[in-house]
Amino acid sequence: EIVLTQSPATVSLSPGERATLSCRASQSVSSKLAWYQQKPGQAPRLLIYDASNRATGIPARFSGSGSGTDFTLTISSLEPDDFAVYYCQQRTNWLWTFGQGTKVEFK
Amino acid sequence: EVQLVESGGVVVQPGGSLRLSCAASGFSFRDYTMYWVRQTPEKRLEWVSLISWGGSSTYYADSVKGRFTISRDNDKNSLFLQMNSLRADDTAVYYCATDSTRQFWPPSGYFHHWGLGTLVTVSS
């Protein structure tokens, strides 16, 4: 099973600042990686798929990069609505795994 | 508008059984691979199972293989998860979700639309 490790566990930032979230895979997943946002009491929402493609309706301030084992989600300028938990997810060999999440909180 | 509404979550004793349902609307349900994903009380997300749009192919996480069965009724726009031999570590919110591609195999493996979830608690 491929293990996804996200860092940091929590990041404290202010609106307007840039957020950089990391996801590292225990072995290569090529570009088969997605990012999700989850707010309290809500289901996760797909933000990025195939490492760098924004899902429908996702603002341009969200971007993804990376391939192989190292991936990054960048939020260029945090809006108040962006404070949430972010998860990465991969699928290989008919097994799906998620990272443990990074919480983006108000500084 | 895509809607997925899960139901069936209750408190059940260890070793018990439960059947979850997911009612779909607002899209062509029969054209999409569907998933069950769960979120533990510690907020860890875990993929549980997948079923192809026609229902002929199914996959399971090792942790539920042999105990859970996924199925669907395309005429009733419904997805199901039969859960047997339940254990305490099956306690979670269970979500149904769509794949992001239509009539595509293998599926994308990304969870596009999600329901609000239904809580399953396994406890004596």
- Taking the Cβ of residue A64 and every Cβ of chain B, the question of whether any pair is shorter than 8 Å is answered with no
- Cα dist from B120 to B39, B83, B91, B102, whole Å: 10, 10, 5, 30
DSSP, residue by residue, A7-54: E-SEEEE-TTS-EEEEEEESS--TT-EEEEEE-TTS--EEEEETTTEE
DSSP B55: S
d(CA B107, CA B53): 10
Q: Is the pLDDT of residue B46 over 90?
A: yes
d(CA B107, CA B96): 15
Q: What is the pLDDT of residue B85?
A: 98
Q: Check if the beta carbon of residue B49 is closer than 8 Å to that of residue B59.
A: yes
Query: Which residue among A49, A94, A100 sits closest to B100, beta carbon to beta carbon?
Result: A49
Residues 6 or more apart in contact with residue A8 via CB below 8 angstroms: A22, A102
Q: What is the pLDDT of residue B72?
A: 98
Q: What is the pLDDT of residue A93?
A: 83
pLDDT digits (tens, 9 = 90+) for A1-57: 899 999 999 999 999 999 999 999 999 999 999 999 999 999 999 999 999 999 999
Query: Which residue among A49, A87, A94 sits closest to B108, beta carbon to beta carbon?
Result: A49
A-interface mutation test, from B4, B111, B118, most A Cβ less than 10 A away: B111
B103-117: average pLDDT:
93
d(CA B82, CA B67): 8
d(CA B53, CA B110): 15
